[in-house]
Amino acid sequence: MHDIEPHFRWRDEYIASEDKRSPFFGRRYSEFYESNRLYNFYLHPQWDAFGSSTLYAKILFADYDEGYALIELIGEWNDVLHNDIMYLKREIADILLREGVDKYIFFCENVLNYHAGDEDYYAEWAEDVQEDGGWIALLNTRQHVEEEMHDAGLHHYLYVGEPYHDIQWQMMKPRLVFELVAAYIQGRVHRLAG
């Protein structure tokens, strides 16, 4: 786990620890000392803790004029034991929402498991962002994680599943990722099967 580094190719365009509007403004990182852990595994020191003991994040890009944020996640999303959605909502999304961000894209390749809990925070968050036409999308979610989320009814609050699979976002610029996901959500583009 300590070898999995958050996506770094957009650092010439945005660094959350240098953004005064970011919840992670002023954070300092060690290149060598690993302090965040997922159970018995240390994580790369560039991941940001936000209150959960099993889920970590990295804001890769935020555009306040357009109102969107691109956030990478790693770990286990556990609403049953750790109420991770509460931390994600209160410690990241609410802060960004106050800054005008109402469209969220989460990169979920490194979310290993999901354990459903109460839907209240999802409903609240969806209501918060939908007031101004915003949304929440999860990209490249592992199949078993997606199935758990679907079984928990989260597809009523956020976009997950097709067409948000297998998007090669790491090779794109942040604006293109946003425009592609927005086009899927608005029904302007449909993925071709096969």
Each residue of 124-143: pLDDT tens digit?
999 999 988 999 999 999 99
Q: Is the pLDDT of residue 186 over 80?
A: yes
Q: What's the pLDDT band for 32 if we cut at 50, 70, 90?
A: low
Residue 118, pLDDT > 60, answer yes
For 49-184, which CATH class? alpha beta
Q: 71-86: per-residue pLDDT in tens?
A: 999 999 999 998 999 9
Alpha-carbon distance 5 to 117, whole Å? 28
- Domain range annotation of the chain: 49-184
Question: How far from 183 is each of 12, 160, 191, CA to CA, in Å?
Answer: 26, 14, 11
Q: What is the pLDDT of residue 45?
A: 83
**Among candidates 151, 97, 149, 148, which has minimal Cα distance to 127?**
97
Q: State the pLDDT confidence band at 173, using cuts at 50, 70 and 90.
A: very high
**Lowest mean pLDDT: which of 41-45, 108-112, 118-122?**
41-45
Residue 61 has a pLDDT of 98
- Residue range 150-179: mean pLDDT, rounded: 94
pTM for this predicted structure = 0.93
